[in-house]
Amino acid sequence: MTVDYQDHGRLGVNVKPKYITTANATQYNLPDTLVELPQTGASDTIDDSDLQFVWSNDPSFSFQVLRKSTGDTLFSTTGTVFVYENQFIEFVTALPQGYNIYGAGEHIHAFRLGDNFTSTWYNADTGDTLDTNLYGTHPFYLETRYYQVDNSTGNHILVTGNATDANAEYISYSHGVYMRNAHGMEGLFQSNNLTWRTLGGQIDLYFFEGPTQPEVTKQYLGGAVGLPAMQQYFTFGYHQCRWGYANWTEVEDVVNNFKAAGIPLETVWNDIDYMQSYRDFQNDPVRFSYPDGQAFLQRLHDAGQHYVPIVDSAIYIPNANNDSDAYATYDEGHAVDAFLHNPDGSEYIGAVWPGYTVFPDWLSANASSWWTNSMVAWHEKIPFDGVSFIFLLILPSYG
C-alpha cells in the first residue's frame, strides 16, 4: 500500500500486489501509457492537506479518509470485509444517511444517484437504456455534504436525511473519489454504504478535497484524468446522422433539404451501411462509389460543410479459399500481428456486422501504425473530415 499526498487537494491511495508470480500472472495493472497517472504538482504535506489518512490491521485491514476541518469521515472501510483476490476485489465504504452523490457514469439516470442504484463501469454499445452502462467508463463520483453551523462553538454538524431549520446557518462541502482501474467494475449504492467491486487490477484510489463542487471538478480534470481534447470548431455545430441512407444522392438530398428549410447544418454522417459488406475502409462500389463520393464531398466542402463516416473496429476475416473474398485490410493487419489473441496464440474471433471478425490489439506494437496506414489510404479515396470510431467486442454466442 502506498499513500501519497500528491498535489494540492489530492490524496492517492494505492493497493497492489508486491510480487507477480505464476499464481497471479493474470493480474493486470493498468499501464500509465494507456491511462495516464495523475500528475504530481506542488505536493501537499500531511499538515497542509485537509485530508487525513488512517489505517489499521485490527482486527483486519481497513482504512479511512477524514476531512480535518469538519472532523467528518469521507471514506471508511472499517468494520467491513476487505477482499483482494486475483480476479475479484471488493471493499465497502460507509455513507451518511440521505447522501448526495453524483457522477459514476456513463448512464441515463437521475442527476442525484440516490441510495438504491447499481452503477456498472463497463463500456457497452448501448446508447439509450435507463440505468445501465453505456459507451463510456467514468469511475468517479462527487459527494456533497451539508452541515449546520453551531454559532456558539463554530462547529459544523453534519445534516442527514431531510432535517432543515429555516433559522439555522448551513454550509456545504464537496469531495470526489476516482478509481483508476480498467476492469469491469460496479458500485452498489445502498442506504448507508457503497460497495465497490472489480474483476481485477489494483485499488488505485484518488480523493479530491474540494471543498466546493467546482474545485473538485478542477482537481479531477486538471490533475488526474486531463482536460477534454480540443475539438475542431465545426464539431460544435449541428450534425445529422442516421442509419439507412441508400446512396450518395440520398445523403446529398438531406443536406439540400436542410438548406431549403433554413436549418444550419455543419456536418452530415454515414453509418456503416456505406461500406461494402460492412468491411472497414471499403465503400460499396455501387451505392457509395469513390468518384460519386469525391464529387459530393467537393460540393459539401465548397459550402463550408463537413462529412464524417462511422468506423467499427471489427475486421472481417476473408475466406482464404475464395479469391473473390480477398480483404487486404485483414491481410495487412494479420501480417504485422495487429489483432487480439487467444491464450493458445490463435487470433480471437468474434461475430459482428461483416460476419466472423478479429479485433485490433491496441496495446500491441504494430496495431496503431497498421490502423493509421489503413485510414490514410482510405482518406485518399474519400476525403472525410473526421471519423466516429466505435469499438465493438461481441462474442460469437451473441451474434
Beta bridge partners of residue 171, listed in sequence order: 147
pLDDT band at 163 (very low <50, low <70, confident <90, very high): low
Half-sphere exposure of 377 (CA within 13 A, CB side): 13
pLDDT, residue 27, reads 67
- Residue 249 main-chain phi, psi, to 5 deg: -60, -40
Task: Round to whole Å and give the CA distance between 3 and 171.
Answer: 29
What domains lie within the chain, and their CATH numbers?
Answer: 2-225 (2.60.40.1760), 233-398 (3.20.20.80)
Kind of pairing between the strands at 170-179 and 203-208: antiparallel
Please give the mean pLDDT across all residues of the chain.
Answer: 89
- Are 193 and 92 contacting, i.e. CB atoms less than 8 angstroms apart? yes
Furthest C-alpha separation in the chain = 87
Query: pTM of the predicted model, to two decimals?
Result: 0.84
Task: Round to whole Å and give the CA distance between 375 and 388.
Answer: 12
- Are 15 and 91 contacting, i.e. CB atoms less than 8 angstroms apart? no
- Are 133 and 108 contacting, i.e. CB atoms less than 8 angstroms apart? no
pLDDT band at 387 (very low <50, low <70, confident <90, very high): confident
As a residue count, the chain comes to 399
Q: Which of 12-16, 40-44, 81-85, 336-340 is most confident? A: 336-340
- Residue 181 main-chain phi, psi, to 5 deg: -160, 135
Task: Round to whole Å and give the CA distance between 382 and 35.
Answer: 32
pLDDT, residue 145, reads 93
pLDDT band at 220 (very low <50, low <70, confident <90, very high): very high
Task: Give the model confidence (pLDDT) of 89-139 as tens digits.
Answer: 999 999 998 899 999 988 888 999 988 899 988 877 776 778 888 878 899
pLDDT, residue 394, reads 39
Task: Give the model confidence (pLDDT) of 16-65 as tens digits.
Answer: 888 777 776 666 778 888 888 887 766 667 888 999 999 999 989 999 99
Task: Give the model confidence (pLDDT) of 226-253 as tens digits.
Answer: 888 888 899 999 999 999 999 999 999 9
pLDDT, residue 261, reads 98
Residue 59, preceding bond cis, omega within 30 degrees? yes
- Residue 33 main-chain phi, psi, to 5 deg: -75, -20
pLDDT, residue 295, reads 98
Cell of 267: 456536418
With a CB cutoff of 8 Å and minimum separation 6, the contacts of 381 are 283, 290, 294
More confident residue, 305 or 115: 305
Give the three-state DSSP class for 252. Answer: helix
% of the chain exceeding 90 in pLDDT:
63
Average pLDDT (306-313) is 93
More confident residue, 198 or 399: 198
Task: Round to whole Å and give the CA distance between 121 and 35.
Answer: 15
Average pLDDT (329-349) is 96
Task: Round to whole Å and give the CA distance between 287 and 271.
Answer: 13
Average pLDDT (165-190) is 90
pLDDT band at 279 (very low <50, low <70, confident <90, very high): very high
pLDDT, residue 283, reads 98
Cell of 212: 466546493
Whole-number Cα distances in Å, 320 to 325, 330, 373: 8, 11, 23
- Are 118 and 189 contacting, i.e. CB atoms less than 8 angstroms apart? yes
Q: Cell 497542509, residue? A: 48
Q: Cell 490463435, residue? A: 346
With a CB cutoff of 8 Å and minimum separation 6, the contacts of 254 are 240, 245, 268
Q: Where is 346: in which H helix or E strand? A: none
